[in-house]
Amino acid sequence: MLSTFFVNLCVMITFMYVSGIIAKFYRIRVPFPSMRVQMIGGLLFGIYGTVLMNYSFPLNETTIVDLRHLAIVTAAVYLGGLASVISGLVISILRIIMFGMSSSAIDAAFVMTIIGLSGVYFAYAPWSRLTKIITMNLLGMTLIFVILMLNTTSMNSLLKVYPLQMTISFVGGIFIYFIAEFINKSNEMLFLLERKATTDHLTNLSNRRQFEKSLEFELERAREYKQKLSLLVIDIDRFKKVNDTFGHTSGDAVLKQLGQLLIEHARSADIVSRNGGEEFAILLLDCGHHQAMAIAESIRQSVEKYHFALPDGNTIRLTISIGVAVFPDHCDDRDDNDFFEQADRALYEAKNTGRNRVCAIPLRSRSLSSGQSSF
């Protein structure tokens, strides 16, 4: 009997580990996971609880004892009320399907459903996770004890099994808590590492490394779907003067504010990045030449009118130069590097012709030898 309960605990720990791996692909770091995450999680934990029934201890011919309720408890505490209800219903339905219709099966299904519904309260109660697990576990074991009394004629058999089940359930709940917290912290650390590797620390925009990955991916997609892809390469005019005059702290403040301006003027699907120093870039998805030029000009005008706040309370005004390239109009369709190079050449054209302007390589030519540009 003790070995059977130990197997229950090992199975549940294994499920927690697998769930932790799956959780890396979903947004579980928010206080209330999305409905989709809760539905998937509730279904998984319902299956986990059902599997635990295969490692049950028979109390009599019609009644089995196990730790399936811990699956519901875990779903409620770590996913939410909807996940708790779904896991309870899944366990209840599969209990009847797998072991047949009987009075004890109906009673067990009723208890699992009640535990699942109670999870709606526990999921959003203002308690610590450990308190929720202990309290909900005790509630579940109390309900289970009542059902076991109704379905057994031998109290001696019940009193031999239940104290051990209660102890293993309590210990199992504590184990699950520590394992789940460890998995959560591990996933959070992985998320932070991934974020640091792909995000500019100052502006929270994509960094150069992530920009290059995004550029490669979006170029491939543009080829596949025969779409236009535009690139804006942006540089702050005479930014060195800002650092020299007001200090690097003021320069950082300017970079942060410019990053926010770019996000506000880009479309929601576009990709904004800081590629280093005072250079930024925006990938405009499914965007042709005329629309890209209009967006770039709008950004240029907004920056020109903007008053950048400095840490000392003063404000300054700046201008930017923007180079525009459109795939496949401006570049070699087979050379990914050529796309960025054309936008970069257009940026230097803007710099060399007076700054505070938008330039693009003329559509009819990929050469700047003629000195022509469009504004």
Q: Which residues are catalytically annotated?
A: 278
Q: What are phi and psi of 209, to 5 degrees?
A: -60, -45
Provide CB contacts within 8 A for 360, sequence distance 6+.
289, 292, 293, 323, 324, 325, 326, 330, 346, 373, 374
**Rounded distance between C-alpha atoms, residue 320 and residue 298, angstroms:** 12
The structure tokens 């797998």 sit at 98
Burial of 227 (0-12, 13-18, 19+ CB in 10 A): middle
In the chain, count of helices (H) and strands (E)?
12, 9
* Residue 230 burial (10 A CB sphere; 0-12, 13-18, 19+): buried
Token pair listed for 339 = 């796309």
Host H or E run for residue 76: helix 69-78
Q: How far apart are CA 206 and CA 271, in angstroms?
A: 8
Rounded Cα–Cα distance for residues 45 and 197 (Å): 33
